[in-house]
Structure formats: structure tokens, C-alpha cells
Structure 1
Amino acid sequence: MHVQGHIFVVTGGASGLGQQVTKSIIEQGGHVIIMDINSTGANEMVESFGSDKAYSSGSVDVTSEEQVKDAIQNGLCHFKNNNEELFLVGAVICSGIVWPPQSIEGYGPNNQLTSYSQFKHVVTINLLGSYNVAQQVAQVIMNNKPLNQDGERGIIITTSSMLGLDGTLVGYGTSKAGVAGMTLPLARELSNFGIRVMSIAPGPFDTPLARAIPGVEAPVSLFPKRYGQPSEFSDLVLHIINNSMLNGSVIRLDGALRG
């Protein structure tokens, strides 16, 4: 499967890893429906690349079935008004949070432990939000004509985390473990429709998320001894899209760092 001439949904597409994925897909000749809670950033991306390459319907909450559905349908109408041959073939799900807002309190000494409300908030966005987008994109893709002799129709790529695989941070780690855990079951469920499902579990990358807490910095990789670059993440996304034998797996992208 190739990027050129196809439409992809990218969540979290206005910043960090998602922003770089959006850029890379467009540079490869693809078109992107940007879903991001940050409508200003999303609109700036559209202005930068042009409305023939990128589209945003405004602020999109990935946990809202209605908002995700509207963003997909509005994006498809937007691109198909310009080119009837364009089809949605994939989603790259990069949206997520590490910490709940300060307004949701923890419990225990100094409220430093993870409360149920905090846990629920993070899991809802990172896990349920990822599945919401994956399911709604898959629902569109399964009606595509096959793209190649394998009968491939599209792909879903989620973003897990090394912290989800290594058991670090109760809310975030559990949510990302869930994202990793749904990869193979979802790949099996969608296989009869020619839809692949993959997940990437990155370590710390040079994005605002790596510095989510003032004064606290994430460790660098064992080698290379630095943060990952967003372009290295998007390079892997492009390779997964192009390589049809990659399916049902989680790929660590962490320079041998473990949580």
C-alpha cells in the first residue's frame, strides 16, 4: 500500500509526533484529515500545506463518537469535492495525554496517588479515544475497493508507549498497555476486510510531551544517547504503511530504553 493519492486521518496532528506524521504523509503525496483538540494548531497546519492537502473541521475530541464521525465525513466531502478518486485508507492515532488536569485530584498523602477519576480520565482519552477513531475509520475503509492483489483496503496505526509495555505510571501506562493489547485482536477482527493494524511504542521523543511536567525531564535512550526525533517516528509510520506484511504487532521505538 502506498501513501500517494490517498487520504489518512491523523489524530493529534497539530503538534508533536502527529504533526510530523501529517507533514510526512503530505510530502509523500497523501492527504490528511487532522483531528486535534487544538483547533488553532490544526488550522495553522492547513494554512501551511494548503486546503488541497490538509483539512480540519475544528476542535475534535477523540472520545466523542459524534465529533469523530463528523470530522471524517466532512473531511471526505472536502477532498472528494476536489478529486472523486481520493479514498480514506488509514488512520495514524497519535493523540493522548500523560497526566490528567490538575482539577482532578489524586488520593493519599498530598494527593500524589492515582485516583479513580484520574485513572478514568487518562484511560478514556488514550485507550477509548484511540479505539473510537480506529473503529470509525475502519467502518469507512472496509467499503473500499481492494488497493492491490492482496486485497488490502487500509491500515490503522496506533501509538502505545514503552511505559505501557514496561509497567510505569498507573494511568498512562495502563492506557498505553491497553492500546498495545488491542493491536492483535483488532488485526484479527479486521483481517477479513483487508485492514491491517499496527502499533508503535515509542520512548521519549523530542516533543512537548517529553517535558509535560516543569522541571522533570524524561531519560534519554541507551543508544543513541538522546531523545528520538519526530521524523524517526514518522519514518517508521511510512514504512509500516508501505510494508503489507507488518500486521498485528507492536514495534518498540525506544533506543533500548526500558521504563
Structure 2
Amino acid sequence: MQIKGNTFVVTGGASGLGEQAVRDLVAQGANVIIMDINHARAELLIKELGSQVYSHGITDTTSESLVNEALDGGIANFPGSALVGAILCGGILSPKKDQEGYGPDGKLTSYSQFKHIVTVNLFGTYNVAQQVSQRMLNNEEMGADKERGVIITVSSICGLDGIIVAYGTSKAAIAGLTLPLARELADHGIRVMNIAPGPFNTPILKTTDIVAPHCLFPRRNGESSEFSKLVLNIIDTPMLNGSIIRLDGALRT
């Protein structure tokens, strides 16, 4: 899949893993549509990186109408550039502060907490994936393999290894979406891949009091640049489809 001159959507693109993906896609000559609720931070990236980056405004990925507006706005902003990819990094780790847990000291996960995190992480991911796919169906076939696009979702080893009830369940569901969605879109030349990161040095770690263990080797947290390198490799490699890649330095939680 060619990067240069084409358009990619990055959810959660204003910070963390998503921000680095934006930076590296722009460096490769791509146009990028950022979807993020942190519009102020997205605007700073636009000022820094220039006209190859677009943000429609505050975009809640669980809203069909807001995602539709952001996609239409981004496509119009990059005329002649095909929308060929989506890197879906947006998500939350912890519930809202005003949502109470239950049990001793309120430490157990309540229904409202569970529902909120699953809605943002799982439904938000699928909402964008579906609306991007709908537009990719109209792309001209590209290359010898007649590709039309690629969707890269982000889960977590927390989902694969079964920790943190709401977050882990939402991420397990995103990982579980990979092969069924790849099968559904295969006849249309659209690939679907999933990256399951371990602990990375991103702002999301600062939103919780959970202390993440270091990876086995390298004995450290991951860096956003390592995630982004994998994203670029997935985009560039047509045989990568329908699979989950752990990016965790052999850590098992």
C-alpha cells in the first residue's frame, strides 16, 4: 500500500501512539485526518506539521454524525488524495472520575464504568472502522494485489492476557474483531490488522495508579516510535492481514 500522496485517519492522533503515527505518516508524504477529543492539541500538531494534517474539531468517535463530518471534511480538504488507511489508537484506560465502583472501597468495576469504557474503546473503534471501510469500497484498485485500503486497530496485552476488567474486556473484543472483519472485507481488497502493545511511555499511563511491569527484553517500556514503525510496516506489507501482533518485549501479564 502506497503511503505517499494518500490519506490516512488516525484516531487518538493528538497524543501518544497516535501522535507518533501521525508524525511518521506525514514524514512519508501522507495526508492525515486526526480524530481526537483533544482538538487543542491537534491544532498544535497542525501548526507544527503543516497542511498535510487536518482536524475537523472535537471528534467523539462514538458519535456516528461527528465521525461522518470529520471524514467528509478531511476528504474535502485533501482533494485528489484517496482515503486508504485508518490507524485506530483512540481509547481510554480508566472510567470517569464521577463514576463509582462497587464493593469494598468502591474498587470493583460497576456497570456504568464498564459500559463507558467498552463504549469508547470498542464501539468507537468499530464506528470509525466501518465508516472508513464504507468510503474505501469506492477506491480504485491499487497495485498487483488490487488493494483498496488497510485498517489497523489497537488492542492491548491486557485484553489478551485477561487483566483490568473493563479495559481488558474492551481490548479483547477489539482483538477479536480482527479476523471476522478481515474476512468480511477481504473480497473488497481491504485488510485488517491489530497491534496489541504492552506498556508504552504514553500519557495514558499517567491517568491510572496501576504500575506497569517492564518488558522481559528490552527491559523497559516501549517507545511510540517502535509502535509507529510497525504501523508503517503493516501498511507496506500486503500479506499482513487478519492477525494480531503483540508488541510487548515478551511480557505476559
Q: Distance in 2 between matches of 1:255 and 1:211?
A: 21
Shift of 1:102: 1.2
Separation in 1 of the partners of 2:155 and 2:90? Answer: 10
2:232 corresponds, among 212, 220, 238, to 238
Q: Does 1:188 align with 2:183?
A: yes
Contact 1:6–1:89, Cα closer than 8 Å, also in 2: yes
- After superposition, what is the alpha-carbon deviation per residue over 1:179-198, rounded to whole angstroms, capped at 9, x for unaligned? 00000000000001000000
Distance 2:96 2:151 in 1: 28
Give the gaps of 5 or more residues in structure 2: none
- After TM superposition, give the deviation of residue 217 of structure 1 in Å: 2.8
Q: 2:90 and 2:252 mapped to 1: Cα distance?
A: 22
Q: What pairs up with 1:55-66 in 2 under 5 angstroms?
A: 55-66=54-65
Corresponding residue for residue 248 of structure 1: 242
1:65-101 superposed Cα distances (whole Å, 9 cap, x missing partner): 0000000000000111xxx2x1100100000000111
**1:1-259 residue pairs with structure 2 within 5 A?**
1-51=1-51, 53-80=52-79, 84=80, 86-214=81-209, 216-259=210-253
CA distance in 2, matches of 1:232, 1:125: 25
The residue type paired with residue 237 of structure 2 is N
Partner-residue secondary structure (3-state), 2:2: coil
Aligned amino acid, residue 173 of structure 1 = G
Distance in 2, Cα, partners of 1:211 & 1:201: 19
Kindly, what percent of the aligned residue pairs are identical? 58
Please report the TM-score for the alignment, with normalisation by the length of structure 2.
Answer: 0.99
* 3-state secondary structure, aligned to 1:228: coil
Structure 2 Cα separation of the partners of residues 70 and 153 of structure 1: 22
Deviations along 1:134-159, whole A, 9 cap, x unmatched? 00000000110011121100000000
Q: How far off its partner does 1:199 sit?
A: 0.3
Q: Secondary structure at the match of 1:55?
A: strand
Structural RMSD (CA): 0.7
Instruction: Give the drift of 1:211.
Output: 2.6
CA–CA separation in structure 2 for the residues paired with 1:211 and 1:257: 20
The separation in 2 between residues aligned to 1:61 and 1:212, in whole angstroms, is: 19
Please, which runs of 5 or more residues in structure 1 have no aligned partner?
A: none
Contact 1:99 1:172 survives alignment (8 Å): yes
Residue correspondences, number: 253
